[in-house]
Structure 1
């Protein structure tokens, strides 16, 4: 049979054949059915390789008919002769052209009794020898052919020897215990196997010979699919790639293996090699455990700059997932400032140079940069880099901090008010450093070698402590010298024998600190004094004061008035919730929650709470009202640190306010009764006034009928006086009636105002005041250059003009009165100006009230209702009225009305 090693040799022969115009084939020695053909056959003769395999009589049909008998003799003579034989045969190519080949045939028999095989080597010749050629030329070509035949025969015999040696080597491998070799059919039944395979699967040779071993039975269920794909690959391509799987041993244990198979078409068998991977798997598992559990970072990278594999230490240290690390070039993770060194190191690794290692900053997923020390080893033949990294961030930070500490120490020594010195056991200076030496008039190192005991011989205190330190005592003292104050520390350093080897001295210039401490003591004294003053103020303050911490709300101070105010002890609280101990209520009786108290709100919001009345139940059970004002206290940065609240007992004041409200209600009732009385009295007085007026008019008519009669002469002066008094009384009664109507909301205006010329109306009223004005010594001047027409209630408007003009004459006798009427910005304006006594500024608003006047009624009389009624009428007409005046400078009253008329309403 054709073994795997023999097949390898045959493939080697085919490779040799491809380099020359040589065809190598193997066929059954009896049927001449081709079993193997070198790929070069298709290129030389043009027939597809499939045709060589599939046509049973391919050889006999493609030998030139004239050479067929010679070919059969050459091919079938193997039953009688086992040695090689050769001849020149012509074969027909795909185009029908005859090509000459030097053909070498060798018959081989299988050692296990299978059918013998023909192995043939065909070397293409330039052209076939022909008898008609010239003798000399034919002889030359014959010699060339014979030489080529001899060379081809030698090569064929050498290949045959190689084939025999290959078969011998294969048998050695088959019989060895290094690798398992198996021959099986297409159904997985194992036909033959060496001892190495039987040892791997745990079966005996008896099990093999009795047919109890099958590949499918050895394969666990999870590997059935991959095994089936391998068998399909063998069937299709004649070979399968090596792959890993597991076998189930006879004892039930599993064994990992590596296997590969090749198809032996002549035998209809598969040859499979099996390698036991148990030891390798255990080594890999151990290596994998070390790889995954190692605290250091290990990785495998490619020359392309990508990680191929990383251990979990990478994800633990850097935070990136394994997928994220493998997805990007590893140079992307290096700090931009370090990337150039990383690229240079990668280039060196590509050249096979491991280099001294690399220390760079690598990005963590959380944005932090870590320092990693890298060691790498390239393997150029695999294109891989094996590397390890160690996180040295803390180490570098510690080194950095050490450097900074040294720098700070040196800075302190060289810039601070410090002196550091070391003396030996005899007291001689070994070290003398520090900026503090300058304040003593010394330079660093100036006293090195001198005796400290001699240098400070005139300062007994210094000498005493030096001696104590040299005796092994650790001590410190305050030394004052040259106007400076030093705090000096003595630390002896002992040798192995316990004796003083040296004395370390550290002297700190505390002159400024002593001064500051003295100032602090003075400030503390002042603060205590101010605190006593504050306590005295809190004790004498007539109101309660509480102080609390913010934001907790802890009450830690309350003055004595707080105890007096609530008539019980003040309860210290730990937080705002403790305010429940203080019974406070809203006006509606709802209790104050802790966060509702003014102090709580002021500390929480930062906004002062002023004069909030809180109803309280005192310790003696009485009720009271306290107005609390709270404010937050801020520090220099504006943070609320405390809260202060002050309480004012307003119980008596609230009671007085309630009493005042009660009296005010009674007053309102009295005024209402008065107004009602005035209204009734006004109506009742109008009836006799009307009758009296009619009687006076009748009497005047009688007197005027006989003006020369003694009776008429006696009555005339009295009738005029009676008329004025009746008129005045009528005005007073009308004012009282208007006040009652205004109070009751019944001041009537004309429902349908008509067009009214304000200038004409004022001129008419001024004319009626002519007699009264002359009697008062006033001249009335009217400035009305043009009519000012509007839709107003003329009777009520006349009442306003009458009141204002009457007041001007009353309070400005002997002086002219100026009247003005004009249209300004779409409004009618009436101005009444007198030069009388004037009105004080504080009375300018008060004069518009009921029964109000700016002067004593004893001198000017009247009810004080004219201006009040006038203002009500003007506002009812949609206008405004105001007064401008100063004492002694007269007064000006200004009325402005809308030209289209005011709102038709009642005041």
Structure 2
């Protein structure tokens, strides 16, 4: 219990505290049971004073759940260090609402025979305006408040009298470090202040005594208006509500403070308490900084699941803006498959149950989902949910990858030639897995429980290794058993005492590897043999070969042909610069610089040099031409280690090429003369053909006029043969004339285009082939269901159809020929298909050349110009022609033409 003097002091503090929203209490420093509470505590928090005294855990139960640990740390730290500590704590009023208080705790030195105590000053940070609202609604209550204010003033005056009477006790309070206390007049002059206040504003006692401290002068400009309203409230009501502002210290720095003032009429002064909020502001800033910069996601939500506040980590991780997140309930962002668990968790939080946490998929703004692990705590009295979340997508993916890795490992064990086994200390199989068991005629798990020592009792080599492993020895060996070869590793597993607990055995079936290694050894032997052969071949090659190191260019090998080629010794060069001594020249006579030689370029650039002609002067003084081809040689890492150059003496070939060029010029002249002859010959041949054809026609008419005469019967079969031969001769002459004109540039392949029907044109040409078709035993089948109209040179187009149909009849006797005409995708298509001898694949492109054919002219005749002229005409008409064939299965020719025709051109 408190002494009488202490009780008087506490009553004085309580009377002073009534003027503000301040609670003063004293508690047992060990049990935290309250020993004294200022009377206004009941009015501020709503709990009856009896409850404060009688409940031993009153403080713990009425602190906000989230602040209990901070409060306990604050109380214990003040007791342990015996210095004042302060902090912002939330207390729950009678309605469950959390009210924030700036809490200052000081330990009290224990009196002899008494337990240590804590003394606490709690200053309300948010004023409860409920009383003022009721005052505005009720005049009676306003009068009651005025009476309370009057009584408060009387108590303040009584307190002042008590303080005047007990100067020593008041001075101890005044000079305490709990709070800054100031006495001032209405002009802001500070008449007296304790050391706590002077420490807050940075002024000295001398500054105070000389009157150099003024409230208004220390007030930051932006807070002068609120300070002036506080002064007006004191003058009007004798008291002002607590408010925050900033002082400008003497050193120019700013300090945040909490102020509350009361008028002391007896002394015509204002009493003001000043609390330094620096720690609180820093704590708030630190908390806000942590909230903003925390890598995890923090949020506050209502019981309906709608976000009220989120930290920037939400936007960084999910991509949604704060506005988008607050616009919809949280459940809308959860993956449909996880939404049911989210609803259950929200329902539990509404009931006040925190739950074990929740991991769900949450949608991202740019698409996709993130796995978030949530922890949430409900606060029913505030209707809020405090939650944190961590992105565990990578952990989930890593876990899935681990599962996949285990599955892959299992797959490897069961798919590769492995045998994994574990023996207990007695040598019995505990594990037996792996695909390699098949080579031993076993299946996984088949030998579990059996003794390995008994299984391999008749195989001394295996038995010895097993015994060594069971004795705790790590060993490995190549073992042959059951006709297979295994590489076996024995790894004993020991306990802390060094005793064997199990023996792990890993066996790899290396039967195939041993076979391959034996083959490799044989291959190496063969390669060495072949290398000796290669060296012999290198010396006997008809080409010169040089090998140089890279990058120096040092020549270290030249075969015998190298010296024979230059008719002198091959001088070894130690570096690229010494290449200057070699007698090599460009075609224009300029000597080769060292870096210009093909070998030098290959090893410096890494690019092969192919068949570069170098003019050389041989050792006997003669001149020659050598074509050098150089290439770099790289190692396994791709670095150039050597260069190889091969030289071919092409002096004779160059002379032959010059001779060939001369002969080619002579040939061109001969071909030109031939073409000129063909042109003249075709004109001259065409001249007698026309009257010959007319005479045959006249003879045919005469025989037709008297069909029963002996002369008509003798002439009839010969006339038809003569007419076909004349017609064939006319076609050949026309082809020769076309080729001559094409080469001379005189043949216009297209005339003025005219509208014509390709289907009708093909039908007309097919009708003219009746005699040839019957003679060859063919049948022409025409598929032209609809007209195909276009602007083409009809005479040249008729020539194309005639050539293709003639070819089909010539090379497919006795088989049907199919003609098809149709319009496809805005183009006219003509298809000629025969079932004749076909064309070999290597001849499909050659047949389009002049005087080219795929078969012997002895059997089929012709000049080999029909397809060449056909392609020239089709391409001049803006179209394409192609051939498709399989040897022995006929051929198909496809012509495609634009419906508007092609531009006229000359070949």
Q: Is TM (by shorter chain) over 0.5?
A: no
TM-score normalised per structure 1? 0.44
